[in-house]
């Protein structure tokens, strides 16, 4: 591993990334040190003691629960989308990639307001359902957990798709064809050959979406339940009331959880890579 790292940095082109790395580390490090210092001095370390109070634990649990549900939704939708990009005809791949690019180019706030128009009581979805005779009264589709999950999943879905598609690109489709030629059905070949070959992508995508979901603010604030605050909304609330020490303690905790998640993803990927190589 050490020799591999040395070979990478021996390439002159690798040093071109150094200014960007230093800029990111310096900016992130300075902000993190300032936040940690504020959490310990305004008014003191008791800011962290408040994080184990029942109200703070409920906020953390709500955030974890919402992020986990978003992971499941984006994994199901993202896998189907990425699979279509991998095995579909060239024309379909181009259209799907263009649509994905449009999603990245559109602001998350703009997409949240679009969902408001669709999900509100007199929105498009309720009007269509009522006009079709499916329901008599409008459904409550936003300002609750459902609205937050729908909006957040829509914003984070492109990230899951790209991670899964990158993993699927490494899969040799000839192995799936070989399994089918030996008598396996299309579904069996998919579940027993293709899906296991993309486990690293599934793990990385789920970890990435979970981490991003923990710190999501705008979409849950616009579409979610105001009585079920997420940790990012709680940080904003504490800041608005001038409790910068408590907000800093929450922010530091969120950063530590994020770094721990990234470490676990890296360790799991290395473990799977070692198993394949052995």
Provide the pLDDT confidence category of residue 270 given band limits of 50, 70 and 90: confident
d(CA 158, CA 81): 9
Q: Largest alpha-carbon pair distance within the chain?
A: 69
pLDDT average, residue stretch 1-8: 54
pLDDT average, residue stretch 46-71: 92
Residue predicted with more confidence, 277 or 34 = 34
Residue predicted with more confidence, 226 or 136 = 136
pLDDT at 237 over 80: yes
Mean pLDDT of the chain: 89
pLDDT at 262 over 90: no
pLDDT value of residue 6: 57
What percent of the chain has pLDDT above 70?
Answer: 94
Provide the pLDDT confidence category of residue 265 given band limits of 50, 70 and 90: confident
pLDDT value of residue 195: 95
Asked if residues 76 and 82 have their Cβ atoms less than 8 Å apart, the reply is: no
pLDDT at 271 over 90: no
pLDDT average, residue stretch 244-258: 93
Contacts of 248 (CB under 8 A, 6+ apart): 35, 36, 38, 39, 42, 47
Provide the pLDDT confidence category of residue 201 given band limits of 50, 70 and 90: very high
| Three-state SS sequence of the chain | CHHHHHHHHHCHHHHHHHHHHHHHHHHHHHHHHHHHHHHHHCCCCHHHHHHHCHHHHHHHHHHHHHHHHHHHHHHHHHHHHHHHHHHCCHHHHHHHHHHHHHHHHCCHHHHHHHHHHHHCCCCHHHHHHHHCCCCCCCCCCCCCHHHHHHHHHHHHHHHHHHHHHHHHCCCCHHHHHHHHHCCCCHHHHHHHHHHHHCHHHHHHHHHHHHHHHHCCCHHHHHHCCCCCCCHHHHHHHHHHCCCHHHHHHHHHHHHHHHHHHHHHHHHHHHHHHHHHHC
Provide the pLDDT confidence category of residue 28 given band limits of 50, 70 and 90: confident
Lowest mean pLDDT among 17-26, 111-120, 241-250: 17-26
Provide the pLDDT confidence category of residue 278 given band limits of 50, 70 and 90: low
pLDDT at 18 over 90: no
Lowest mean pLDDT among 10-24, 164-178, 186-200: 10-24
pLDDT average, residue stretch 246-257: 93
At 243, list the tokens.
């409790």
Asked if residues 241 and 73 have their Cβ atoms less than 8 Å apart, the reply is: no
pLDDT average, residue stretch 59-82: 95
pLDDT value of residue 65: 94
Evaluate if pTM is beyond 0.85. yes
Provide the pLDDT confidence category of residue 4 given band limits of 50, 70 and 90: low
């Amino acid at each position: 591993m050490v020799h591999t790292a040395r070979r990478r940095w021996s390439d002159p082109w690798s040093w071109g990334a150094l200014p960007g790395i230093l800029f990111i580390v310096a900016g992130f490090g300075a902000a993190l040190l300032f936040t940690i210092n504020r959490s310990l001095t305004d008014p003191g370390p008791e800011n962290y003691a408040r994080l184990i109070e029942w109200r703070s634990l409920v906020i953390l649990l709500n955030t974890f629960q919402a992020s986990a549900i978003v992971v499941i939704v984006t994994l199901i939708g993202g896998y189907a989308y990425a699979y279509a990009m991998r095995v579909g005809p060239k024309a379909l791949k181009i259209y799907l990639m263009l649509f994905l690019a449009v999603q990245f180019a559109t602001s998350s706030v703009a997409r949240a307001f679009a969902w408001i128009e669709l999900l509100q009581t007199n929105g498009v979805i309720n009007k269509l359902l009522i006009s079709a005779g499916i329901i008599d009264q409008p459904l409550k589709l936003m300002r609750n957990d459902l609205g937050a999950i729908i909006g957040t999943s829509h914003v984070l879905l492109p990230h899951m798709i790209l991670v899964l598609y990158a993993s699927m690109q490494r899969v040799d489709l000839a192995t799936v064809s070989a399994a089918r030629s030996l008598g396996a059905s299309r579904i069996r070949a998919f579940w027993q050959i293709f899906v296991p070959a993309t486990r690293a992508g599934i793990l990385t995508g789920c970890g990435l979406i979970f981490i991003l979901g923990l710190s999501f603010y705008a979409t849950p604030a616009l579409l979610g339940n105001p009585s079920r605050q997420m940790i990012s909304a709680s940080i904003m609330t504490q800041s608005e009331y001038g409790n910068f020490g408590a907000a800093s303690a929450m922010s530091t905790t969120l950063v530590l959880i994020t770094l721990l998640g990234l470490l676990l993803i890296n360790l799991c990927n290395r473990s799977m890579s070692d198993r394949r190589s052995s």
